[in-house]
Amino acid sequence: MSRTPLLAVLLVTGFFAYITGVRLAFVVVYAIALVVAAAALWSWWAARHLRLARTTPAGPFVAGASFAERFRLENGSRLPLTVVEVRDRSRLAAYRPGRACSLGPRAVATWETEGRFAVRGRHQLGPTEAWLSDPFGLFPRAVRLETMTPVLVYPRLHPIGAAWARGARTGRDAPRGTRPDDRPPSVAGIREHDRADGMSRIHWLESARRGRLISRLFDADEGSDLLIALDCAQGIHAGLAPDHSFEVAVSLAGSVAQAAIRQGRSVELIANDRHATRVAAGRGAAHEARLMEWLALATDDGRSGLGALLQRHLPAWRGRGPLVVVTGARDPGWVEAVAAHSASGERPLAIYVDPATFGSRRPALTVPARWRLIVDLWLVHRGDDLDAVGEDGSRAVG
């Protein structure tokens, strides 16, 4: 109910009572004034005793993951509340956890809601408002819960297999029945245990001697870092998030990084975004979290091509280990840079996310024969089931 008509009636009736002196008019004026005062006091008192609590999920999460929240609304006064509406001010798409309910004296209402983080990035849950009013609806008030919970959502990761993380030749290029990890590696040394290490890596005798967990270091871990180059240039990607070619590229870069780190490998990442990002080589759970945090917030805002980035970094990288390039650029500059700075016998892996299948106006890529002579090429198209890729990656080779 709007207060304006009621106040208009109060003024007109008061004026009529003043000029006529009719007793009934004064009774109506006093009754209206009493109702307004009682409604204002009711709303104020109820708002002071209304309690709103929101339990938000703890992150980080992965894109596509579901989450749950719990809300608790308590009326601490002895006044009944006909309608209380909880409004969520979060900017999370397709998530509406608010609810309208009635609360009796000293009553409590609780409910749970479920949502889903559709895209990676930093999201915010909250603030929250509970709107109430007096029985006549004259004085609505809001009880605001200012708490805002930031949640970091990592890119979606896919089981692309150990072979891709090594940058090894697999799929159609590998003989059937052979895999790079068929030969048992030899122990080259020991290091401090990391939470990402599996049970098979623990050196039990050395752990017992030192009184803490120690991991074995294999020959394959020495001098064989992995470099991931992610193309973040403007204008090469297409689509709408989450169905966007850049989102797929980020997801695949994260999948390769995670697989390599959990093999005990050291991973370095470079990107041609506007900050010319370089995440120095590292291993373990802490480094994996650092990489995933950057990938969660990565944007395709670079102003230089991938070729220039590789020209700067590859000379110093030569011989340190395999290279994985994740791009959607048709410009052969990045291929020329890889050819010029690859060590003898190396065949880097190039994951090409074709923007044409995501709505780009450019035609689909026709792979030049020269590209296949320089890199192992994996063509990724819109709609590909990346979760169905086998351990050897053979189902995804273009």
- For 79-104, what is each residue's pLDDT tens digit? 999 999 999 999 888 899 999 999 99
pTM for this entry: 0.77
The position carrying tokens 């623990």 is 202
CATH architecture of 162-396: 3-Layer(aba) Sandwich (3.40)
Q: List the one residue out of 111, 110, 115, 109 whose CA is nearest residue 68.
A: 115
- For 201-218, what is each residue's pLDDT tens digit? 788 888 888 888 887 765
As to burial, measured by CB atoms within 10 angstroms (0-12 exposed, 13-18 middle, 19+ buried), residue 129 is middle
Q: Are 314 and 336 in contact (CB under 8 A)?
A: no
Q: Where are the domains of the chain?
A: 48-154, 162-396
- 48-154: which CATH number, 3.40.50.2000, 2.40.128.90, 1.20.1050.10, 2.60.40.10? 2.60.40.10
List helix spans (H) across 73-190.
Answer: 162-166
The angle formed by the CA atoms of residues 138, 144 and 147, to the nearest 5 degrees, is: 170
Along the 398 residues of the chain, how does pLDDT read in single tens digits? 566 777 777 788 888 888 888 888 888 888 888 988 999 999 999 999 999 999 998 878 999 999 999 999 999 999 999 999 999 999 888 899 999 999 999 999 999 999 999 999 999 999 999 999 999 888 999 999 988 899 999 999 998 765 566 554 333 333 333 333 444 455 556 767 766 566 767 888 888 888 888 877 655 444 468 999 999 999 999 999 889 999 999 999 999 999 998 888 889 999 999 999 999 999 888 999 999 999 999 999 999 999 999 999 999 888 788 899 999 999 999 999 999 988 777 789 999 999 999 999 888 888 899 898 899 999 999 999 888 765 444 444 44
Q: Are 253 and 326 in contact (CB under 8 A)?
A: yes
Q: Are 331 and 355 in contact (CB under 8 A)?
A: no
Mean pLDDT of the chain, nearest integer: 85
